[in-house]
Amino acid sequence: MNKKKTVVKSIFLLVIAILLIAGYFLLRGGMGITSTEADPVFSFEDATSSSGLDAHLNPPVNNNNPSYLEIMGGGVAVGDINGDGYEDIFFATMSSFIPHESREYSSALYRNMGNGTFENITEEVGLDNIHGYPMGALFFDFNNNGLQDLYVAAFDGGQLFENRGGYFVDVTEEAGLSLEGLCGELPCMAAAPSATDYNKNGYLDLLIVNNVSWDINDELGYGLRAILPFNYKAQSVLLFRNNGDGTFSNVSEESGVTNFDTFGQGNDGKGLSAVWTDVNNNGWADVYIANDTTPSRLYVNNQDGTFRDISIAANLAEFKSSMGIDTADFNNNGLLDLVTTNLEGDMVSLFRNYGYYRFDHVTTSTGLIPSGWGSGWGVLFADLDFDGHQDLVIANGALLEAIHKEKENENIFFRNDGNGRFRNVSDEVVQFSNNEYSRGMALIDVKNNGLPDLVISNINGSKPQLLINRTENSNNRIRLNLEGGKSNRDAIGTRVYVEREDGLIMNQIVKAGNSYQSTSSKSLFFGLGETGISELRIQWPSGRTDVFSDVPVNRIIHITEAAEDDEQSTLDIRDFNVM
């Protein structure tokens, strides 16, 4: 009998042990830790000090009497401004709102020297005359001449600079992009610009996300309350149609894209960022706008120059303090998903696209909960370890120093395990200072080695950060540069499908404007694992589809769309740089 009891007891203890072990791994999964420690993890090096990126982006914040604008920070834009094949960097930052004896806190353009370093050429190229308080920035080719132009969104400003071959000229007025009087009695607080060809005329249109109506005199004596958006009225989003002759027309009201409440609930949007996507795979550009303390909004393209707000029906009208935004197919089901970052306590919001205009909030079920204790700003999808699955990076940063000391606000790296879950690998990835007041963030391939690097803008007197991707594994990869022929020259809105030899089909869309008030590289980076490419399919905004086979791996591939239907699109294959 005693022996029998002993056996039963042993079995009972064994069952308990198994349950405890299972519970442990289930808990780890709930915390976003689903892969084993043996799984490959991407690696980054902080190369800021040796890069030459020495700008101080914003002056220290007054913690006792902060200004609303001071805490907003600025974005960062990536683009090749001189056509040398290397991507340059522009930082949008305070230049004239608060007077300083020097222009230490001015916006800055840095030329990529091709060797991992950058040179400040702001004055040399005519960008030392930026007005207002710059917030967001966008590189795009608005006139299809092959040169990257620059739009700088700003409070009491907003300027379009045309690239004339190494020198930028302010063409805001002649282009019809003056914002004066478009936001009521107070100046527009233009926060985030983005571009797409929403009407398929071959030219990039411009969306400007405005935030709130603000006057510094209104916040005097508010103290800490001055930084709360509840104190200010929302401003309309502005959509400008590109006429194809160097001018734009304001079509905000007629298009229906205003970010104002059309359901009579008084929830006008206080926008901070936007991303153009294609939620229904019909080849027409839709737009999702991240709003602060008001519901975010999804506008679907009606294909006739108008849009309809389906935010509530699509389960995307989240009433949170949303800051940054991005879109990608994180689970490789062929549909573009959405993510927003939010302020403290609101976590990050990940929305899975199930088709038929239905999204589900899957933050918890995918393991992204640990990011919820910081304040999220910039956010990017990218396959950082080239396994074919979109990883996620979040740039965190406190509003004020007092809060920063009390809470963790480190930038967070999540690895996509390929099974619908993410694992927080920040401790394994980060071997550098990672606790700044981060705001904007963009992807860039600094050395043309096919590795997606990161550039991050920080506020409160801090310098930016340049994080170089040092990941080493046996996975193959490709970087695609697309150039429109019949479509817009930047190929914005192009959908690319890569089918691997193991059957996995990945897809990405070319974007101009994402993250937090920022613009990433227009190149697409695909991870191939240890396989090759079975088929490369490109759906251009013009409606043309190109299919290629026998595509080499571990190369930069420049694909130019044919200008005529009876012509062939071309591939230019280049080796990665090794530095």
Per the structure block, which two tokens stand in for 305?
Answer: 């120059």
Q: State the pLDDT at residue 30.
A: 35
Contact 393, 412 (CB under 8 A): yes
Q: Would you call 69 helix, strand, or coil by DSSP?
A: helix
Residue stretches of the chain with pLDDT short of 70 = 1-40, 56-66, 94-105, 218-226, 263-266, 345-346, 370-373, 400-408, 431-435, 460-461, 579
Residues 6 or more apart whose CB falls under 8 angstroms from that of 420 comprise 331, 365, 366
Which contiguous run of DSSP H or E holds residue 11?
helix 2-30
What whole-number distance in Å separates Cα of residue 339 and Cα of residue 288? 10
Q: State the pLDDT at residue 228.
A: 76
Residues 6 or more apart whose CB falls under 8 angstroms from that of 245 comprise none
Q: Distances in Å between the alpha carbon of 82 and those of 119, 151, 333?
A: 13, 16, 38
pTM across the whole model: 0.90
Picking from 120, 86, 276, 90, the residue whose alpha carbon sits closest to that of residue 199 is 276
Residues 6 or more apart whose CB falls under 8 angstroms from that of 207 comprise 193, 194, 195, 196, 237, 238, 239, 240, 257, 274, 276, 287, 513
Picking from 484, 562, 557, 475, the residue whose alpha carbon sits closest to that of residue 524 is 557
Q: State the pLDDT at residue 428.
A: 86
What whole-number distance in Å separates Cα of residue 288 and Cα of residue 276? 7
Q: State the pLDDT at residue 217.
A: 76
Picking from 379, 401, 402, the residue whose alpha carbon sits closest to that of residue 392 is 379
